[in-house]
Amino acid sequence: MSAPIIRTEGIAKSFGEVHALKGIDLEVQEGTVFGLLGPNGAGKTTGVRILTTLLQPDAGRAEVAGYDVVRDAEALRAHVGLAGQSAAIDGNLTGRENLEMVARLYHLPRPDVKRRAGETLERLGLRDAGDRPARTYSGGMSRRLDLGASLVARPRVLFLDEPTTGLDPRSRLDLWAMIRELRDEGITLLLTTQYLEEADSLTDRIAVIDLGSVIAEGTSDELKDRIGGEVLELHVADRERVDDAAAALKELGTSEPVVEAHTGSLRIQAGTDGARVVVEAVRRLDDAGIRIGDIALHKPTLDDVFLTLTGHVAEQEQEEEEPVAAGRGRKRG
Amino acid sequence: MSTTTPQITIGMRMRWTLADGLVIMRRNLLKFVRIPALFVFSIVQPIMFVLLFVFVFNGLGGLLPPDVSYVNFLIPGIFVQTAIFGSTQTGIGLSEDLNSGIIDRFRSLPMARSGVLVGRTLSDFVRNLVVVLLMTGVGYLVGFSFQAGLLSAIMAILLAVFVGYAFSWVSALIGLAIKDSESVQAASFTWIFPLTFISSALVPLQSMTPWLQTIARNNPVTVWSNTVRLLTIGTVSYPNGIPFMPPAGESLAGLLVKSFLWVGLILVVFVPLAVRQYRKLT
């Protein structure tokens, strides 16, 4: 296997008391799509900002396309493109002017600037809107133009920080198609996302990141195998009895029940025989005299990945109103 | 690093800084073309200044030598004051760019690190130049005229605009440090009002109380105002006893040297500080 085009060794970054990254090791092969999957506040954006030289790490080292992100930052910038969470384009310029400006700032040869800007508008489906001020664009169009700005100079590595957050389903699918196209052209992409589905359908490899650390890495299938088939989720009618329910359901699925006490919910990995697990769960709880609020089988979600890997649900920044300890109670069986 | 890294020479660096600065300048100026209202209102205020001050302060004319009209005394000061006021737009513009996220894009590009600041200060230089030229036109309608020839007139206008350019770098530092555009605006006016009003920009120094005069005499705005004023009205006779700045005996050459030394000093101090603040952005 050839040398990885992105390699990080123990990169760490703190903002005062907040340890955004606690030593991350990653390797990304050229020509692949790599997903950084994690909830808000996991450290994904910090990682992208370090790899695109916007931030300097406190510790560790990282190389992109053979350049050290700190020592060779200046030379590296010619080889990477970045599209962030919000569209970093100038609404007062037309789409074409935005792309030409960025192409000039990449120091492309003069004759290439106009040609590349035109080609990029074309491939993003913005040809007709290309000569309108970008402030008249819809959200999806702005995001596409932003992506265009990041690839107008044909960088070897493209960083997309939550590229589809806030997009409607149609725009999201368009963007997914474009990401696959770019990969097929040999560009390496690193994208961050909160959505397992997105990582699943787009990426060759995924690193799951939580609270500043990588907690799992592998292909989407490898990660799903760790969760194992479908997930049974149920709520007990009487929250107080959730631990009794967990005891009753011991050794039912392929994992021990994971309890979320404050919502009275309980999850079990059902493996490939979901229907049997549901029937058996209903029977056991009935025998134990525990009433079920609702019960459902579903495909693994980001929460399931987190539950399986860490025993807690994904932390949503500071918005969680429950005391942290309650949300993270790690009770098994 | 490997030998494939191209050697970046100082010459290339300077060329890029200028080229990148011009790209950013063009982008900033296009805003005035795309939002005509912005352009209209950014010139209405300075023009209003000319008219207001000329009519409101007209009574001060009695303090001036007989061959100096009040309009010709006042408008050079307003040039300087307006150019300094205009420089606050540099910090406001930068803070808006910071908040919109476009500075992140610029920082991820292989452009010169000072390109954004060079471009922003250049576009504000151009805007200030246009404003001062328009004020000159309006000034001519209310009796203003350059009396010392074309060359002096050009120098007068350029000096005022260069003063604004120097303050653009002060404003850039403030904008990059404070980041919130409303706070930047508020912060700018706390130093700009005393700086421009405690000077000979609008009134002869002799109309102030003595302790204020001492401050005003050492204010570079006084030096600049007097220089632009002399470039405007040429040589004047100083009848004894008529209090009028600049004081008799101060030569135009001396004032010009002092003026550009002050501009240079501000640039030498604030250009590196602003660039350092830009590099420190995260």
- Using a CB–CB cutoff of 8 Å, tell me whether B14 touches chain A: no
Residue A275 · residue A283 · CB < 8 Å: no
Q: Count of CB atoms within 10 A of residue A110's CB?
A: 9
Q: Please give the share of chain B, as a percent, with pLDDT higher than 70.
A: 90
pLDDT at residue A331 tops 50: no
Q: In this complex, which of B104, B106, B282 lies closest to A105 when CB atoms are compared?
A: B106
Contacting residues of B for A89, CB less than 8 Å apart: 102, 105
Q: How far is B275 from chain A (nearest CA, A)?
A: 15
Kindly tell me if the per-residue pLDDT of A296 is higher than 70: yes
- Beta carbons within 10 angstroms of residue A59's beta carbon: 13
- CATH (residue range A6-224): 3.40.50.300
B19-70, pLDDT tens digit by residue? 999 999 999 999 999 999 988 888 898 889 888 888 887 776 666 777 778 8
The answer to pTM > 0.90 is: no
Model ipTM? 0.87
Indicate the residue of A52, A75, A92 with minimum beta-carbon distance to B31. Answer: A92
pLDDT tens-digit map of B72-95: 888 999 999 999 999 999 999 999
Whole-angstrom distance, CA of residue A257 vs CA of residue A272: 16
Helix axes A110-123, A95-105, angle to 10 degrees: 140
Q: How far is A72 from chain B (nearest CA, A)?
A: 8
Does the fold of domain A228-327 match that of domain A6-224? no
Average pLDDT, stretch B168-191? 93
How much is the average pLDDT of A8-24?
93
In eight-state DSSP terms, residue B238 is -
A175-179, A202-206, A227-231: least confident range: A227-231
pLDDT in tens, B82-140: 999 999 999 999 999 999 989 999 999 999 889 999 999 999 999 999 999 999 999 99
B115 touches chain A (CB under 8 A): yes
Least confident of A32-36, A70-74, A254-258, A301-305: A301-305
Does residue A246 carry a pLDDT above 60? Answer: yes
- CATH 3.20.20.70 assigned to A228-327: no
* Nearest-by-Cβ selection for A77 from B8, B35, B110: B110
When pLDDT is averaged across residues A188-193 and rounded to a whole number, the result is 95
Q: Which residue of B has its CA nearest to A67?
A: B1
- CA-CA distance, A97 to B182, in Å (whole number)? 28
Whole-number pLDDT of residue A256: 79
Domain ranges of chain A: 6-224, 228-327
User: A146 or A254: which carries more pLDDT confidence?
Assistant: A146
pLDDT surpasses 70 at B179 = yes
Of A74, A82, A101, the CB nearest to B110: A74
Q: Is the peptide bond before A323 cis (omega within 30 degrees of 0)?
A: no
pLDDT of residue B248: 56
- DSSP 8-state symbol, A62: E
Nearest Cα residue in chain B from A134: B34
pLDDT surpasses 60 at A217:
yes
Which of B20, B100, B104 lies closest to A105 in CB terms?
Answer: B20
pLDDT of residue B176: 96
Contact B30 A93 (CB under 8 A): yes
Do the Cβ atoms of B16 and A88 come within 8 Å? no
Cα dihedral: A214, A216, A218, A219 (round 10): -110
Length of chain B: 282
End-to-end Cα, chain A, rounded Å = 43
For residue A4, whether the previous peptide bond is cis, meaning omega lies within 30 degrees of 0, is no
Query: Do B110 and A105 count as a contact with CB atoms less than 8 A apart?
Result: yes
Is B105 an interface residue toward A (CB < 8 Å)? yes
